[in-house]
Structure 1
């Protein structure tokens, strides 16, 4: 029945319908097994980088060690935001072997994505931290808290609520960018679609199907984002 329905659509034939039906599960499986874990792992590591980078940039000016760290983080953010993510991933996988560093495809993709998301998310987190009134910092210091205690107990919960929507959007963007891992031979969703299309020499229906599957994954992520924001709104209202 599904085959007949697909075959009745414009530009579709029975052969194309069979191809689309047969390609569906391999692409969905690759999405769940490779693309989603790749995005989650990269985002988690990227958030660690982002928080550390943001803290360096919002800390009050200190000694020479802080100035060195600040210069390094500014250079890092400028370099990453000024170059394509595809170039960054290729440098990790194809470039580092030139200096004797060999990394497997999936770890190389995670490193490239993590470094990229860390730079972009650090700006989001920095803006969220700066959005918290300075009086909150002063309140923490006045009761004897250290800088990090004040940040962890007072500033971070408030900044987290502000940063959730943009960080959620960045995660969704990262999930879509996992398709770039195909250039370093990671068999994720898009690479699976390309392999199927290359075998059949019929690219249009497979790539359209891949796009629809990405859309479905992102729709679920949009739904999770909306639920998370509503839950945080209720928590803040209390």
Structure 2
């Protein structure tokens, strides 16, 4: 366990890279989807609801295979891309579906009276969302968004199925090479656990900072 741990820790860089990149894309996507659902935009809102239902109701690994062996084979440019992009896209689409519901619910938690007051002052939707709804909603959504980040990090473990060498893939390789599967997989589990503990700690710190600011 001690011998292989540094090797697995080095592979964590790929895991974190996949997670952070997917998080940025997922958050941007989730905001757009949440706005569409929150304002009940005609035609788009039912489509978003269908999208969310699909990605929340199907396994992540199935979605990865659909993206990599399906969508990425439809275009010559996409077929030349690294499997890493398929992993990032899949994680972003999956996490974006969950995060959009979290953000939409946090939007709905803001007192309607504040919105009516903003409209009485002739604020546009964009203005009162930016100045009133969004700052309050993010405080409510913060714990769930951090949970989504933790799920993203754990979700990167499926990347090995299409040849991306992240931490889980490294663990499988080392296990096959040394036949010490239990010890190496325990190392992998410990690293995932440590990352989750660090993120939970950061979440609590950020929540306290926001409460003091409020």
TM-score by length of 2: 0.94
Q: Which residue of structure 1 aligns with residue 60 of structure 2?
A: 85
Corresponding position: 1:186 with 2:167: no
CA deviation profile, 1:98-123 (whole Å, cap 9, x unmatched) = 42342321111000000000100111
Q: Which runs of 4+ in 1 moved over 6 A?
A: none
Q: What is the SS of the residue equivalent to 1:21?
A: coil
Corresponding position: 1:142 with 2:120: yes
Distance in 2, Cα, partners of 1:29 & 1:200? 18
Corresponding position: 1:49 with 2:24: no
Distance in 2, Cα, partners of 1:165 & 1:69? 28
Distance in 1, Cα, partners of 2:73 & 2:184? 36
Q: Quick one: which of 120, 132, 157 aligns to 2:110?
A: 132
Q: Which moved more, 1:185-194 or 1:95-104?
A: 95-104
CA deviation profile, 1:175-206 (whole Å, cap 9, x unmatched) = 11111111121111111111100111221111
Gaps of 5+ in 2: none
Q: Quick one: which of 80, 92, 102 aligns to 1:114?
A: 92
Gaps of 5+ in 1: 1-19
The number of aligned residues is: 211
Q: Which residue of structure 1 aligns with residue 45 of structure 2?
A: 70
Distance in 2, Cα, partners of 1:104 & 1:53? 27
Root mean square deviation, CA, Å: 1.2
Q: Quick one: which of 28, 37, 57 aligns to 2:9?
A: 28
How far 1:21 sits from its partner (Å)? 2.3
Distance in 2, Cα, partners of 1:200 & 1:98? 36
Query: Contact conserved, 2:72 with 2:86, CA < 8 A, in 1?
Result: no
Query: Contact conserved, 1:93 with 1:104, CA < 8 A, in 2?
Result: no
Q: Quick one: which of 190, 200, 222 aligns to 2:178?
A: 200
Query: Contact conserved, 1:28 with 1:189, CA < 8 A, in 2?
Result: yes
How far 1:75 sits from its partner (Å)? 1.1
Distance in 1, Cα, partners of 2:194 & 2:121? 49
Larger gyration radius, structure 1 or structure 2: 1
Distance in 2, Cα, partners of 1:139 & 1:182? 52
How far 1:220 sits from its partner (Å)? 1.1
